[in-house]
A and B are shown apart, each in its own frame.
Chain A
Amino acid sequence: MATDLFTVLPECAAARSVRISFNGVEKRVVPGTTVAAALLGAGESRLRASPVSGDSRAPYCMMGVCFECLVEIDGVPNRQSCLIPVAEGMTIRSQEGRVQLDAKEAVSHE
């Protein structure tokens, strides 16, 4: 497995000051980057499963077009991690297939 596909530059690696968690594992990442870049830099390349085929997926376009980088951030599903700046304390989970719409939303509007 090509775990070294992406390498954080040495001068940046020294500044891994932001703490996040990915699927329950704490990571320290570089500030000022996107969630997708942070996760790739931390060696995480499987961010989701396709809701159609179930196959593993990794960030691809890194510019908001392809939707391959979807993750759940702080409980909100299907977020484009390549467009969201990484922030201290973020709880990130891989996006495993399709979301179940919340029936509570239905109740709150009745």
Chain B
Amino acid sequence: MDYKSDIIVIGGGLVGAACTYGLLKQGLNVALLDEGDIAFRASRGNFGLVWVQGKGYGTPQYAKWSLGSSRLWPTFAADLLAETGVNVELQQNGGFHFCLTQEEFDDRAHRLQSLRDAVGEDYRYEMLHQAELRERLPGVGPQVYGASYSPMDGHVNPLKLFHAMHLACDKRGAIYKVERRVQTVTHADGIYTVQSAGDTWQAPRLLLTAGLGNKDLAAQVGLHAPVKPNQGQVLVGERVQPFLKHPTIFVRQTDEGTIQIGDSLEDMGLDDTTRTDVLARIAQRAIICFPQLAGLNLIRSWAALRVMSPDGFPIYQESSTHPGAFVATCHSGVTLAAAHALRLAPWIAGGHKPAALDVFAGDRFLDPNREFNNGH
């Protein structure tokens, strides 16, 4: 079958769904092509934080972009609720980043001071030594040296977010197809053509939001998106009585009582399987943070692959050789979902490019004189 639309979006994860929702709100007719259940899906394996503190060290534009998204989040969550009836359980009551040693604490203080100097007074946080931390957050263990706290931070239920965005896209009339892995994109006479599973899609615009698949697809339309997988493993515990009112970097409790514990950070290629030694270290660290978790029954664990650029920051760019072809890829698909729907999509739909996005062009990685370290 042949499909025609205003834009083809390749990849139906958190980034693709948020952009599709935003494009539909701009009045575009959108075809969203997704893979099947065996795809690597960071969108179904993440930790659910809407997080600002600490991000963008050395690149304050990223800190500002994240902060801007967190501020759009209440509107975004309210829109999703109104359109779908799904409450994504957004809570933005501040988050804690634990420091287990004095060295970690001092590094953290330096990093956040540097970010506040670059971003401005809006960048709010406090460094808390142990006594103050334990007063603020009952249950923290005696081996935790301290923490940074930021009222900018929060969390959502990431699976409900994923569901709500897809439902909103469906209600607004997106053409959504699964089991449509795309390997080749062609461009002729101003029209992009994509073929998959015997069907053909055509549109004057193209958006790549294919996560790890962006690397190969981008190269076909004059874009550069050298993303690599980075594995994270997490644990999920039984539902327990509420004891943790704020999200933290290692442990959070959902409003339904579930405990989620993260996470590891490893270069494992495309391996998304868990290993017990890694899970044991994650569990041990969580027990240091909250000793009462030693009595928690675990019910599930998984690994997922983060989509990481060489510097850890997003890639947003329109192709200079292939007009109307865009790539959007990032690690923080939850935090940035609001910005993707409400700020990125209007640009991709044909509006002005937000000046804040210039620094995120994928071409930055082509500069032979620059070196990149993950500053996410």
B111 within 8 A of A: no
| Smallest Cβ-Cβ distance to B294: which chain A residue | A105
Question: Is A99 an interface residue, CB under 8 A from the partner?
Answer: yes
The answer to whether A99 touches B241, judged by C-beta atoms less than 8 angstroms apart, is yes
**Complex formed: what's the CA distance from A23 to B190 in Å?**
71
**Bound-complex Cα distance A12 to B206 (A):** 64
Flag whether B256 is at the interface (Cβ < 8 A): yes
Smallest Cβ-Cβ distance to A52: which chain B residue: B256
Instruction: Decide yes or no whether B310 CB sits under 8 A from chain A.
Output: no
Q: Chain A interface: which of B112-120, B285-293, B343-351?
A: B285-293
The A-B contact count (CB < 8 A) is 56
In whole Å, how far is B18's beta carbon from the nearest beta carbon of chain A? 27
| A66–chain B nearest beta-carbon distance, Å | 11
A109 to B290, CA, bound (A): 10
Instruction: List B residues at the A interface (Cβ < 8 Å).
Output: 139, 141-142, 238-241, 243, 256-257, 287, 290-297, 299
The listed residue (A52, A78, A98, A106) touching B139 by CB distance below 8 A is: A106
Give the chain B neighbours of A110 by CB distance below 8 A. 141-142, 291
Write the nearest CB–CB distance from B357 to chain A, whole angstroms.
Answer: 40
From B142, B239, B240, name the one whose CB has the most chain A CB atoms within 10 angstroms: B239
Determine which of A67, A98, A109 lies in contact with B299 in the assembled complex, contact meaning CB atoms within 8 Å.
A67
What is the chain B residue whose CB lies nearest that of A100? B241
Whether the Cβ atoms of A98 and B241 lie closer than 8 Å is: yes
In chain B, what residue has the closest Cβ to A76? B297
Contact A99 B291 (CB under 8 A): no
Additional 7 contacts, C-beta under 8 A, given A98-B240, A98-B241 = A77-B297, A101-B296, A107-B291, A108-B294, A109-B291, A110-B141, A110-B291
CA distance in complex: A105, B291 (Å) = 6
Q: Is A85 an interface residue (CB 8 A)?
A: no
Bound state CA distance, A106 and B141, in angstroms?
A: 8
